[in-house]
Amino acid sequence: MNKSDAEKRINELVEKTSYYAKMYYEEDKPEISDFEYDMLMLELRDLENRFPELVKKESYTQHVGGNVKSGFSKVEHEVPLLSMQDIFSLEEIKGYINKIQKQAEENNIENKRFVVETKIDGLTASLEYKNGIFVRGSTRGNGLVGEDVTQNLKTIKSIPQKLTENIDITVRGEVFISSKDFQEMNSKREEEGLETFANARNAAAGSLRQLDSNITKTRPLDIYVYNIQKIEGKEITSHYEALKYMQKLGFNVNPIKTLCSTSEEVIKAIEEIGNKRNSLSFGIDGAVIKVDDLNYREVLGTTAKNPRWQIAYKYPPEQKETILTDIVCNVGRTGVITPLAILEPVQLAGSTISKTTLHNEDFIKEKKLKIGDTVVIQKAGDVIPEIVKVLKERRTGNEKEFKMPENCPVCGAKTIRLEGEAAIRCTGTECPAKLYRNLVHFVSREAMNIDGLGENIIDQLLSKNLISNIADIYKLSFEDIASLKKNGTKFATNLINSIENSKNNDLYRLLTALGINHIGAKASKVLARKYKNIDNLSEASLQELSEIGDIGPVMAKSIVDFFKEDQTKDLIEKLKQAGVNTKNLEKEEFDQKFEGLTFVLTGSLEKYTRQEATDIIEKFGGKVSGSVSKRTDYLLAGEDAGSKLIKAQNLGVKIISEKEFEEMI
């Protein structure tokens, strides 16, 4: 390759790898497999070695990871969290070991051993302890500056808040989600119609980098610690001894660690990990080979990006051929229709694979899949089976095109694909597949606010066939409800009263409860005030709705499509017959003293729920946002205010108490 062609290809590779790295490190949404990315990086590194004058400073061979996510405080790492150079052949491993041991002899280093560990597929984190107490945790970021995720890390049970010794120490570890937990989490998300995670690594990364630690708390995160970055008051000279010492301090240490003296022992350890990888409880994307002597590490030093004292061996992904015998569609609890590939069963990475998700319509088109195709599958992140490519040369002409259904396979209602979304959804308001999710939303606090009718009770009502659609809530008898609990008389009385009270809700609550796509509580209030009753709204034209402030064309189309459906008309008629109010009841005129002002709520208020405070602000013309920014005018802070309060103070946002809020209204 001449210099001109090399420059062109380097530019292409830098652009591609930068984009894919951004999606991986910063967005936690990988678009290609780790193996495909590694091959691009390998090609780029090779070209840069051959043409060093063409190396671009923005190349990912020259720096680490991603940028700090907006909303997190920056943490400067005292000891840089560098990445590792990847190699892909055991012959290269042998060459690396021999080179390091030869240099050890030249420098009179006695300890020429190595430690081989699993390369855990997760997100790197740094944990800092002062006098044995956990004080700060951060992500790797770009290796020099990371994100302060202390509160999120405190939700991980395997991270000790206090060590067994009162020592100042900083350690490095990998946050991950176990294979079992990941599969369970994705299955639950699929049932609920939510987008599934591509792999366990990105699920862990996305969970740890949540701005709300309450979300992180719900995710099954774990950690393995594998390196001492900094320690005071104790002399440690061996990495293997450091691992044992960290275990003694109470850390969850990488469980697979083998001390080796020769290249043959190192390769044997790598092969043993490779043989175990399908049976491990956590995902790995390679094996790490580290120099054991910590003083020798100082002698070896680092490059701009990689330590010379460690290297990562990447295992090639196991792939198998099989036949795509059919494509079927599942309907999730939110109405998302997911295509599922039915495969001729094949053994892959320790398990029998007979089906795999095809994600959405775009994925099928991108892969150019046809029913009857011979396909190549592999496990993404050693967990989820995925179709990598189609072997078009194997086609016989008998293969069939697949089209996503125009009608829901469960209820027959029309399906839609909303603008900006990859998912196709069922529009049926009475679709049995969506019933549980629709019921949970309908009775929720921001919707019809039926207190006592929680997810567990809804589950019982459905399992006992006491309800088969939303309107059946209003047919429940005292005896029906009392039968759900032992000595359930008081519970039944309270719930019956709550159901009856919900009949008198304002129209905007009913519109919110119906779950019209893109229409939340705010838009529902606008529509209720404009149209006065649900019949007027159901007859509104697309053009008329599009011209309403805060609605717009996408929301307008969603409203028109919703009220066209026979299932919608049937449900509204049933609700009317049950005595549910379908008119706007708001009569009191409020002045617009909060017009143009944005409020954020945090902590627990004494006299108001969050929803009640939001309603008051909106009636006075104000807006309520979920996050603090420079555009926030007031932060209404209650008891136990958290990170929003700190951010508001840093940005100089006006902070008001509940008493001050009452004075304002």
Cα 601 from Cα 431, distance rounded (Å): 36
Active site (annotated) includes residue 119: yes
3-state SS, one letter per residue, for 552-567: HHHHHHHHHHHHHCHH
Query: What CA–CA distances, in Å, run from 204 to 30, 175, 181, 208, 554?
Result: 13, 7, 11, 6, 33
Chain centroid to CA 111: how far?
A: 43
Sheet strands side by side (includes 623-625): 623-625, 598-602, 634-637, 654-656
Q: Which of these, 496, 449, 492, lies nearest to 474 by C-alpha position?
A: 496
| Nearest-10 crossing angle of helices 610-619, 521-531 | 40
Q: Output the DSSP codes for 542-611.
A: HHHHHTSTTTHHHHHHHHHHHHHSHHHHHHHHHHHHTT---B---------TTTT-EEEEESB-SS--HH
User: CB-based contacts of 619: which residues, under 8 Å, 6+ apart?
Assistant: 590
Contacts 24+ apart (CB under 8 A), 605-608: 605/636, 605/638, 605/639, 605/658, 606/638, 606/639, 606/658, 607/658, 607/662, 608/658
* Phi, psi torsion values for 228, nearest 5 degrees: -90, 120
Q: What is the dihedral of CA 654, 655, 658, 663, to 10 degrees?
A: -30
Cα 319 from Cα 122, distance rounded (Å): 22
Angle, vertex CA 442, rays to CA 440 and CA 448, nearest 5: 125
Cα 616 from Cα 404, distance rounded (Å): 44
For the chain, the first-to-last Cα distance in angstroms comes to 73
Helix (H, G, I), strand (E, B) or coil at 507: helix
Marked catalytic residue, from 112, 119, 525, 647:
119
> Locate tokens 């050693």: which residue?
382
Token pair listed for 227: 């390196």
Helix (H, G, I), strand (E, B) or coil at 214: helix
Chain centroid to CA 476: how far?
A: 38
Strand partners, 384: 380
* Phi, psi torsion values for 611, nearest 5 degrees: -65, -40
Helix (H) or strand (E) holding 337: strand 336-348
Cα 586 from Cα 599, distance rounded (Å): 23
Specify the DSSP class assigned to residue 187.
H
User: CB-based contacts of 133: which residues, under 8 Å, 6+ apart?
Assistant: 161, 162, 163
Helix (H) or strand (E) holding 270: helix 263-276
**Which residues are annotated as catalytic?**
119
